[in-house]
Each structure stands twice: as structure tokens, then as C-alpha cells.
A and B are shown apart, each in its own frame.
Chain A
Amino acid sequence: MKAALRMGIVTAGLLVVWQAIVSVTGAQPFILPGPPAVAAALAGHSGLLLSHAGTTLAEILLGLVLGAALGAFSALVIAHVRPARLWLLPVLVASQAVPVFAIAPVLVLWLGYGMASKVAMAVLIIFFPVTAAFYDGLSRTDPGWLDLARSMGASRWRQLVHLRIPAALPACASGLRVATAVAPIGAVVGEWVGASAGLGYLMLHANARMQVDLMFAALVVLAAMALILYFTVDRLLRLAVPWQADTLWQDQEKEPVQP
């Protein structure tokens, strides 16, 4: 409730600043429309916006599921199979050295104007933070636990399943949070390069026809979608990893100890 109130205040503040800039600079509506114009566009084109948002959301969600699965799988492979670590890790790092913006046209060329190229783009952006974070977690298991496991006669596989993976879940969750935050980039970039549906496509289209209010409306929908997605994923991850206590603000909220 408190969080919702804070969010409302921040949003209202941003809207006021936005309107102030429009009023002070006297910007033309086709350069920077004010909040009322964007609100009108939101209401007037709600059906259009919703259908395109559905396409983009489907791309993001598919990309997230596939990207997270691929990321977790590659982290497990490089953590468990030594040759894979030596050969695959540099390839994974190199794959991120190529900007996704640069290969977007190629993906559209190969996979077509439909959803596949956007999902592929999202997967490319998503899998790496998941791999990096999960691998990091897998390789940092408490050495004491591993000593204990060895003294108990555990195979490497069972150490992975019973110790390394659960111990790495909080790190994996951090990777998934980052992935969720960047997932919309992949989908929207893909839509810019070549698409017939989606918010990115709609924005490009509206921009070309000077419908800047519609463009901003699409942007608002995209931002709202990304925020809801992020907070949903964050909530789910917290439920999935309940033993990972949040200690960042605990000290400040407790009464200071009197000497």
C-alpha cells in the first residue's frame, strides 16, 4: 500500500515536470506532446495499442522462458563439464561482444518478419546474464559444504544437484532479474528492424506519420508492461528463494543499539 502510494507520487511528479517542460518551451505537439495529448491517444487507440502490446508481450515472455532455460542449461554445462568451460566460455563471452543491434537485420533476414526473429533477439540478450550469474553462483559453493559432501562420499553429480544448484539459486535469480529488465530491448529492436506487429513496429510507424502522441502512448504501454513484468518476476523469485534474506535495509530499520 505504502509502495503503491510512493509509486503514485513519483508518477504524478514526473507528469508535472513533463507538462511544465511542454508549457515552458511551448513545444509543438508533433515534437513533444503533453500528458493530456498522450492520454487522449492512449484512450483513442486503446484497441490498437492492446493488440500490438500483446504481440510484444508474447515475444518478451517467450524470449524470457527460452533465454532463461538456455542460460541455465549452458551455466550447468560449463560448471559441470571441464572441457566445456575451457571451450564454451570464451564463445559465450564473444557472443556478447557482437551488439544485438548489429545482428538484428540478419536475424530478420533469416527468421522472417514474424515473431521468431524477435524471440531469437530477446533470447540472445537474455541468456547471457542468466548464464553469467548462475555460473558464478555454481562456482562459488561454500568449500566447507563441498568438504562435507566429499567426506560423505558424494559423487560430483549429486554435489551439483544437492549443493551447488540450490546454493546458486539466489545468484541465478539476480541474473533473471537483469534478464527481465533487458528483455524488452531485444523484442523492440527486432520490431524496429522489420515487423508487421508489436509496439516497436507501431512506434516506428507512428513516428513516420508524425503521430508522436501515439508513439508516446505506445512507449507508456511498453514501460508499464516492462515494470509489471519486472515486479512480477521479482516477486516470484523471492517466493522461490525464501532462505535468501534481504539484509540491505534491515540494520537501518532496527533501533540503534545503545552503548
Chain B
Amino acid sequence: MGEAAPDIEFAVDIRGAALSYGGAPLFDGLDIRLEAGLWTCLLGPSGVGKTSLLRLIAGLDGAAAGRVRTGPVAYMGQNDLLLPWASALDNAVLGARLRGERPDFQRARRLLSEVGLAASVGARPATLSGGERQRVALVRTLMEDRAVVLMDEPFGSLDAITRHAAQDLAARMLAGRTVLLVTHDPLEALRLGDRIYVLTGRPAALEALPAPDLAPPRDVRDPAVLVAQGDLLARLAA
């Protein structure tokens, strides 16, 4: 169902990255590798540097030290970041507009109808629900057609049921791409992640956690997922 993924050569490889925020070091000597074609989920307490790490990979902030190797990435922020004056279709083709390319409206329309927004192509964001807005943002991300997709709590503002549907949709549409998903929600990480990391401490260090031995998106009713969620919650709260 999803778009044919572009040729995946790129994964992200970060070695010895150092980054400070407001003078205080967030992390130093941090290594992280994103395996091509897999979903990597990053959990951790607020302010630990998850977003900073993601911005570092996106090239939005530079590292103080270390080596960052990554291909072109698509970035999806904490809120949908839709332009209020533009229709869903115009928002979907924003990337092409911003690069001065000819927008591929046909592809944008196809993707919008694939996420169930065929009737809302001309609608302004204010007339769409939170879930619909997030789907437009997903289409905008897909239109970038990048091998690596970075998502910073993309479903954080959605209610539980809408979020569940959005997770399934994102898993389907982004299949085959290398995804880094920053999230607060242990269950989200356990549903979607092929690899799960927790970022804790200051300076922060990464810790790999086992992902349930099932193909994502995993069923939330699966006992293995539920047990893992309990373990993960206890660990994060400790």
C-alpha cells in the first residue's frame, strides 16, 4: 500500500556526538546507529536531549564534537506545522514549493486519498480535526521521499484512539524507510519500534531495550507487548 521506498543505502551513523544546551552538556561521546529500513524508537524523560539528538541528525543544529553521517532526511515535528493559509494539498507539496521545484500535485492527491483525505484536498487546516491534520503532515513528509524519516512525538497531541489509528497508518505508509521516532509513550515505542532505546542521565547515555519478537505495528492486546509495556514503565519511572 505504501509508496515504493527510495533506494535505501543510507542509515544514520553517529559516533562520539557531543551537544550542550544552555551551557550544560546534554550528551558527550554518544553513539547511535539507525539500521536501514527499520524503525528505531527513542524514549526518555523530558529534557534529556531526545529532541536535540533528533535535530542534530536533521542537520538543524550542529554537534560540538563527533561525526554525523546521514543521508537526506525528512523531518516531522511535535505539532503538525501546517500552514493555516494553505489547503491540505498546498501543505502537502510545501517541500517542492520551498525548493522552487514543480509540485507533483498528482502524487500529493494520491497520497492524500491513501490516508483517507480525498474529500479534504482543498480544505484549510482549521477545518480539519487533529487526526486529519496529522495525516496531512504525514503526507507532506512522504512527499519529501527521503530514505530517513525523523519524527519528534508526531502523535503526542492526539487522543488515544486517534493516535492508535495514526500509528497504524504511519507504520503502513513509512514501511521500508529508516525511521527515528522520538516518543514519550512506551506503548507507542513497543508497537512501532524494531529497535528501542532509552536515553537517560546527564550527560545522557543510550541503552538498548529488547523489542517484542513480533512484526510492527504490534497488537496492543498481545501479552508480550503488554508485559514489555509494564516493564518499560517501571524502568522509566525508577
Which of the residues A147, A154, A163, A241 comes within 8 Å of B83, measured between beta carbons?
A163
Q: Is A147 touching B84 in the complex (CB atoms < 8 A)? A: no
Contact residues, B180-220 vs A (CB, 8 A): none
Say whether A35 faces chain B, with CB atoms less than 8 Å apart: no
Q: Is A151 touching B126 in the complex (CB atoms < 8 A)? A: no
Q: Is A144 touching B84 in the complex (CB atoms < 8 A)? A: no
Q: Is A154 touching B79 in the complex (CB atoms < 8 A)? A: no
- The range of chain B's interface size is 20 to 34
Say whether A178 faces chain B, with CB atoms less than 8 Å apart: no
Say whether B89 faces chain A, with CB atoms less than 8 Å apart: no
Say whether B39 faces chain A, with CB atoms less than 8 Å apart: no
Q: Is A152 touching B126 in the complex (CB atoms < 8 A)? A: no
Per-residue 0/1 for B82-93: is the Cβ within 8 Å of any A Cβ (1 yes, 0 no)? 011100000000
Q: Is B99 touching A166 in the complex (CB atoms < 8 A)? A: no
Contact residues, B88-147 vs A (CB, 8 A): 94-95, 97-100, 124, 126, 144
Which of the residues A147, A158, A169 comes within 8 Å of B97, measured between beta carbons?
A158
Say whether B58 faces chain A, with CB atoms less than 8 Å apart: yes
Minimum CB–CB distance for B146 against chain A, Å:
9
Note all chain A residues with C-beta closer than 8 A to B81. Answer: 142, 144-145, 148
Say whether A159 faces chain B, with CB atoms less than 8 Å apart: yes
Q: Is A152 touching B99 in the complex (CB atoms < 8 A)? A: yes
A151-B83 CB under 8 A given contacts A144-B78, A158-B100, A162-B94: no
Per-residue 0/1 for A21-43: is the Cβ within 8 Å of any B Cβ (1 yes, 0 no)? 00000000000000000000000
Say whether A243 faces chain B, with CB atoms less than 8 Å apart: yes
Contact residues, A221-254 vs B (CB, 8 A): 241, 243, 245
A151-B94 CB under 8 A given contacts A144-B79, A145-B83, A166-B83: no
Say whether B59 faces chain A, with CB atoms less than 8 Å apart: yes
Chain B residue nearest to A245 (CB atoms) is B126
Say whether B77 faces chain A, with CB atoms less than 8 Å apart: yes
Contact residues, A148-176 vs B (CB, 8 A): 148-155, 158-159, 162-163, 166-167, 169
Q: Is B99 touching A153 in the complex (CB atoms < 8 A)? A: yes
Q: Is A152 touching B60 in the complex (CB atoms < 8 A)? A: no
Note all chain B residues with C-beta closer than 8 A to A151. Answer: 58-60, 73-75
Q: Is A162 touching B75 in the complex (CB atoms < 8 A)? A: no
Note all chain A residues with C-beta closer than 8 A to B85. Answer: 166, 169, 241, 243
Note all chain B residues with C-beta closer than 8 A to A163. Answer: 83, 98
A154-B99 CB under 8 A given contacts A144-B77, A144-B79: yes
Minimum CB–CB distance for B167 against chain A, Å:
21
Q: Is A243 touching B126 in the complex (CB atoms < 8 A)? A: yes
Minimum CB–CB distance for A141 against chain B, Å:
11
Q: Is A154 touching B84 in the complex (CB atoms < 8 A)? A: no
Q: Is B124 touching A159 in the complex (CB atoms < 8 A)? A: no
Minimum CB–CB distance for B107 against chain A, Å:
16
Complex: how many Å from CA A166 to CA B73?
Answer: 26
Which of the residues B55, B73, B124 comes within 8 Å of A243, measured between beta carbons?
B124
Which of the residues A145, A150, A153, A166 comes within 8 Å of B60, measured between beta carbons?
A150
Complex: how many Å from CA A152 to CA B103?
Answer: 13
Minimum CB–CB distance for A238 against chain B, Å:
14
Minimum CB–CB distance for B26 against chain A, Å:
18
Which of the residues B74, B77, B94, B126 comes within 8 Å of A147, measured between beta carbons?
B77
Q: Is B98 touching A154 in the complex (CB atoms < 8 A)? A: yes
Q: Is B78 touching A152 in the complex (CB atoms < 8 A)? A: no
Note all chain B residues with C-beta closer than 8 A to A243. Answer: 84-85, 124, 126
Complex: how many Å from CA A145 to CA B84?
Answer: 11
Listed by A's residue number, 16 A-B pairs whose Cβ atoms lie within 8 Å are A144-B78, A144-B79, A148-B94, A151-B58, A151-B74, A152-B95, A155-B100, A158-B99, A162-B94, A166-B83, A166-B85, A167-B83, A241-B85, A243-B124, A243-B126, A245-B126
Besides A151-B75, A154-B99, A167-B83, 20 other A-B contacts (C-beta < 8 A): A144-B81, A145-B81, A147-B55, A147-B60, A147-B77, A148-B75, A148-B94, A150-B59, A151-B58, A151-B74, A152-B98, A153-B98, A153-B99, A158-B98, A158-B99, A158-B100, A159-B98, A166-B83, A241-B85, A243-B84
**A-B pairs with the 6 shortest C-beta distances?**
A154-B98, A151-B75, A152-B95, A243-B84, A243-B85, A144-B81
